[in-house]
């Protein structure tokens, strides 16, 4: 019995792998690296302001009108 991979699997080195036009992170994890930092930032931002902030803004707008 021959060891597995000795005849059927070709060996390649890291230098043989061409990654010039490939985004490795996007390929490996399915992430678009151009927008990864933006998506992370958006997760930190709360989508709705606090009620006190909204009330303060409404009062300031009413004073100006």
Count of structural domains, the chain:
1
Beta-carbon-side half-sphere exposure of residue 35 (alpha carbons within 13 Å)? 6
Q: What is the pLDDT of residue 2?
A: 54
User: Is residue 1 domain-resident?
Assistant: no
Q: What is the pLDDT of residue 6?
A: 56
Phi, psi for 46 (deg, rounded to 5) = -80, 140
Q: What predicted TM-score, i.e. pTM, was given to this entire model?
A: 0.30
pLDDT tens sequence across 15-60:
777 777 777 767 777 666 667 777 777 788 877 888 999 999 999 9
pLDDT surpasses 70 at 11: yes
Q: What is the pLDDT of residue 19?
A: 73
Rounded Cα distance between 6 and 14, Å, is 19
Sign of CA dihedral 19, 21, 25, 30: negative
User: Is residue 30 domain-resident?
Assistant: yes
Q: What is the arithmetic mean of pLDDT over 7-15?
A: 69
User: Is residue 5 domain-resident?
Assistant: no
User: Is residue 8 domain-resident?
Assistant: no
Are 23 and 33 in contact by the 8 Å Cβ rule? The answer is yes
């Amino acid at each position: 019995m021959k060891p597995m991979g000795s005849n059927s699997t070709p060996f390649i080195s890291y230098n043989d792998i061409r990654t010039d036009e490939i985004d490795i992170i996007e390929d490996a994890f399915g992430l678009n690296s151009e927008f990864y930092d933006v998506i992370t930032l958006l997760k930190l931002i709360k989508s709705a302001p606090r009620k006190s902030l909204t009330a303060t803004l409404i009062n300031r707008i009413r004073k100006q009108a």
